[in-house]
Amino acid sequence: MIELPEAMVLARQINQILTGRQIEKAIANQSPHKFAWYTGDPAEYNHRLAGKTIQGAAAFGSHVEIKADDMILLISTPMRYHVRDEKPPRKHQLFLDLYDKVNWFRGALETMNVVYPQLWDVDFREQATQLEVPVYFLLGRHDVNAPPVLTEEYYELVSAPHKELIWFEHSGHNPWVSESAQLVDVVVKTVLAQTQPSQ
């Protein structure tokens, strides 16, 4: 249980840190507890919450009310915020995995305004045709942002001690998301295996 001062602090922190973030995944009733109550079937919480955006939070007595689009989460127990790479707790009553679309768009805009102007005059097909290191191209087969045909053209031109085109057949622009296990496998078993000195 939390008390009113804790509820007020938690609501303020949620408003400052989580407002605007989208729920990517929800897991409810991971560690069943007789003092945890759910509206409806906890197994349906991912279906009901995934894709909702956190609009804000308010303290009501010993509860924190979190508004996520048309849904309201009423929490009366301590909450923890874990950063993306931090290992989540083994036991929990409600786990929300959040996608930060506000800051993702802000980052994309900053990238476009700062990085892209520096790239207009870069053409690897003319400026980097001879490399002295192994080169691996990891490509999503269905990438519309960076058309694979450009990479295939560069692959044919570049000279390197070793070069390899590796396709992710079920990916677009971000195979590290859509085929993350396969990408890790390729990096460890192919790239690192072929480039790291044997011990």
- Looking at residue 49, its pLDDT comes to 92
133 shares a domain with 99: no
137, two tokens: 């191209």
Q: Please give the average per-residue pLDDT across 164-169, as a whole number.
A: 94
Q: What pLDDT band is residue 101 in, cutting at 50, 70 and 90? A: low
188 shares a domain with 142: yes
Single out the residue of 54, 49, 173 nearest to residue 108, CA to CA.
173
Residue 102 above 80 pLDDT? no
Residue 108 above 80 pLDDT? no
Q: β-pairing, 71-75 with 163-168?
A: unpaired
- Looking at residue 29, its pLDDT comes to 87
Q: Please indicate, yes or no, if residue 109 is contained in any of the structural domains.
A: no
28 shares a domain with 84: yes
Q: Is residue 48 packed enough to be buried (19+ CB in 10 Å), middle (13-18) or exposed (0-12)?
A: middle
Q: Give residue 164's identity as a one-letter amino acid code.
A: E
- Looking at residue 104, its pLDDT comes to 66
Residue 199 above 70 pLDDT? no
Q: Please indicate, yes or no, if residue 99 is contained in any of the structural domains.
A: yes
100 shares a domain with 125: no
Q: β-pairing, 163-168 with 54-60?
A: unpaired
Residue 107 above 80 pLDDT? no
126 shares a domain with 93: no
57 shares a domain with 12: yes
136 shares a domain with 98: no
Which residues face 63 on adjacent strands?
A: 60
Residue ranges making up the domain that contains 163 = 119-195
Q: Please indicate, yes or no, if residue 15 is contained in any of the structural domains.
A: yes
- Looking at residue 79, its pLDDT comes to 82
Q: Give residue 106's identity as a one-letter amino acid code.
A: R
Distance set, CA 54 to CA 70, 92, 93, 183 (Å): 10, 20, 19, 31
- Looking at residue 112, its pLDDT comes to 75
Largest CA distance in the chain: 68
Structural domains of the chain, count: 2
Ordered alpha helix ranges (H), the chain: 4-17, 45-49, 101-114, 116-119, 124-127, 148-157, 175-178, 180-186, 193-195
Which residues face 23 on adjacent strands?
A: 98
Which residues face 43 on adjacent strands?
A: none
The share of the chain scoring above pLDDT 70, in percent, equals: 94
Residue 183 above 80 pLDDT? yes
Single out the residue of 183, 189, 185, 194 nearest to residue 134, CA to CA.
194
- Which DSSP letter does residue 27 get? E
149 shares a domain with 95: no
Q: Please indicate, yes or no, if residue 79 is contained in any of the structural domains.
A: yes
Residue 184 above 70 pLDDT? yes
Q: Is there a contact between 162 and 169 (Cβ–Cβ < 8 Å)?
A: no
Please write the tens of the pLDDT for every residue from 41-91.
Answer: 989 999 999 989 999 999 988 899 999 999 999 988 888 877 766 777 788
